[in-house]
Amino acid sequence: MISISGLALILSVLITGSLSFIFLHQVLEKAGRWGFVDRPSLRKKRQAPIPRLGGLVLFPGILIGAAITLILKGQTAKLLGGLIAPIDLCFAVLVGSLSNMILGLIDDRKGLQAHEKLVVQMITSFVCLQAIPVPSHLFGVSLDPVIFQLFFFFWLMIIPNSVNLLDGLDGLSTLLFIGFFLTVSTLWAAQGATSPLLISVPILTSLFVFIRYNWNPAKIYLGDSGSQSIGFLIAYFSLISGMDAHLGSITFNPAITFVLTSIWLLDTAMAVGRRFFRWLPNPSVFVESGELGMKLVKRSILNIVKGDLLHLHHKLLHQGWTVKQSSILIAVVAFGWMSLSLTIASENITIQSLAWMMFVISTGGVLMTMHRHMDIQRSLRRRSPKKFKRLPSK
């Protein structure tokens, strides 16, 4: 017999799917009238403007999941043995995603400076931090709670922006979101934690509806409203996924958190390093002119927030991969890495075996595909060296 939580999951999927589909078609029809369109530019080579209101399409899933969790709060298995109450879980999910979605909407419509967005994200992180339990141990070692709170505070700001940075190809971010929420949903299902599961499954439903129209050639984009709101949920869920309750205390395992978000962290680390060191002066400059050296250092720091065309997906495009191939390749790599979190967090042998199998298959498949692609590129160069040209890196 199906439990109340099971019936709630089925109901949430049906309602979310219907609402997301309705919202999607309304956005496609009215986004241009509202001014939420992404127009062609030097960095965005296409012929026509495309709606970028993905946040509105995905928000019904977030709202319905939180509502059902609150309604059934007395009949669902709590996360971390009840150390995270459903009301705290829903508070962080709703406040964090809604504030980031509104911030993204304003940025998409009018444009905001980096420092303006940072202030709002700092306030959001501080407020939502109150809904995250503070661990007492890291890998079993006792640490000052302030250390955890500082890490969580910055994490809730960094990850949404990291997610936004990698949102550069049709369908790429949506594929990565699906992989993330499938992974954490599997983890929570294995742990019997139905409270967060009631939130993640409706979000997954919205993402599956959205990917059909976001896939190349895209008819709609996530926009900052979509990438920032889902990015916050990824930050929050990756944190609580790394926590484990034992005898009334909470231990934090950052390995799970980092593995779940590894693809975004990798791209962000490469972008920050690339942009900073591009203008970083040689030490000899300080010897000749300390003032000039400091100006160049300041320029390097300011350059971090300036966009470029050298992210992971851009590099694949420069090497001759198509948009679809690049999106699938990055997503497969990310799925493999995310699956490693199940080998760390789950004690179920079957889940661990399947996770390792997925990691090996995805890694092996990507390596074989890249090797085959390189062979094809070399063959093309030999056959027509004059006609075959690599795309510019900038």
What DSSP designation does 369 have? Answer: H
Rounded Cα–Cα distance for residues 76 and 69 (Å): 8
Rounded Cα–Cα distance for residues 60 and 17 (Å): 9
In a shared domain, residues 251 and 322: no
First to last CA, the chain: 59
Report pLDDT digits (tens) over 81-105. 666 778 888 999 999 999 999 999 9
Rounded Cα–Cα distance for residues 191 and 175 (Å): 25
Phi first, then psi, for residue 250 (nearest 5°) are -115, 130
- In the chain, the number of structural domains is 2
Residues 6+ apart with CB under 8 A from 19: 60, 64
Asked if residue 274 is part of any domain, the answer here is no
Which helix (H) or strand (E) segment is 7 a member of? helix 4-34
Which helix (H) or strand (E) segment is 164 a member of? helix 145-165
Asked if residue 277 is part of any domain, the answer here is no
In this predicted structure, what is the pLDDT of residue 391?
47
The radius of gyration of the chain from alpha carbons, rounded to an integer in Å, stands at 22
Rounded Cα–Cα distance for residues 158 and 202 (Å): 25
Rounded Cα–Cα distance for residues 58 and 232 (Å): 13
In a shared domain, residues 321 and 234: no
In a shared domain, residues 232 and 329: no
Asked if residue 390 is part of any domain, the answer here is yes
Task: Mark the ranges of the chain whose per-residue pLDDT is less than 70.
Answer: 1-2, 41-47, 74-83, 247, 279, 281-290, 293, 371, 384-394
In a shared domain, residues 216 and 123: yes
Asked if residue 265 is part of any domain, the answer here is no
In a shared domain, residues 390 and 249: no
Angle subtended by helix axes 114-129 and 145-165, to nearest 10: 140
Q: Measured in whole angstroms, how far is the alpha carbon of residue 375 from the centre of its chain?
A: 32
Residue whose token pair is 């700001």: 157
SS (H, E, C) 310-331: CCHHHHHHHCCCCHHHHHHHHH
Domain boundary among 212, 239, 260: 260
Q: Residue 51: beta bridge partners? A: 37
Rounded Cα–Cα distance for residues 323 and 307 (Å): 19
Both tokens assigned to 167: 């949102």
In a shared domain, residues 90 and 235: yes
The string of DSSP codes covering 63-108 is: HHHHHHHHHTTTTSPPBGGGTB-HHHHHHHHHHHHHHHHHHHHHHH
Residue numbers of the domain that contains 68: 4-260
Is the torsion defined by CA of 213, 218, 222, 223 positive or negative? Answer: negative
Asked if residue 184 is part of any domain, the answer here is yes
Total residues found in the chain within this entry? 394
Domain boundary among 237, 260, 283: 260
Domain boundary among 219, 241, 260: 260
In this predicted structure, what is the pLDDT of residue 57?
94
In this predicted structure, what is the pLDDT of residue 393?
41
Which helix (H) or strand (E) segment is 253 a member of? none
Report pLDDT digits (tens) over 27-41. 999 998 998 998 776
In this predicted structure, what is the pLDDT of residue 152?
97
* Average pLDDT score, the chain: 86
Quickly count helices (H) and strands (E) in the chain: 15, 6
Rounded Cα–Cα distance for residues 202 and 205 (Å): 5
In a shared domain, residues 114 and 231: yes
In a shared domain, residues 69 and 216: yes
Both tokens assigned to 298: 């300041």
Exposed/middle/buried for 196, CB within 10 Å: 0-12, 13-18, 19+? buried
Q: Measured in whole angstroms, how far is the alpha carbon of residue 303 from the centre of its chain?
A: 23
The amino acid that residue 394 corresponds to is K
In a shared domain, residues 210 and 73: yes
In a shared domain, residues 330 and 222: no
Asked if residue 290 is part of any domain, the answer here is no
In this predicted structure, what is the pLDDT of residue 83?
66
What DSSP designation does 12 have? Answer: H
Residue whose token pair is 């940072």: 118
Which helix (H) or strand (E) segment is 230 a member of? helix 223-241
In a shared domain, residues 249 and 326: no
Asked if residue 306 is part of any domain, the answer here is no
Asked if residue 176 is part of any domain, the answer here is yes
> Residue 252, SS3?
strand
In this predicted structure, what is the pLDDT of residue 388?
46
In a shared domain, residues 229 and 336: no
Rounded Cα–Cα distance for residues 87 and 98 (Å): 16
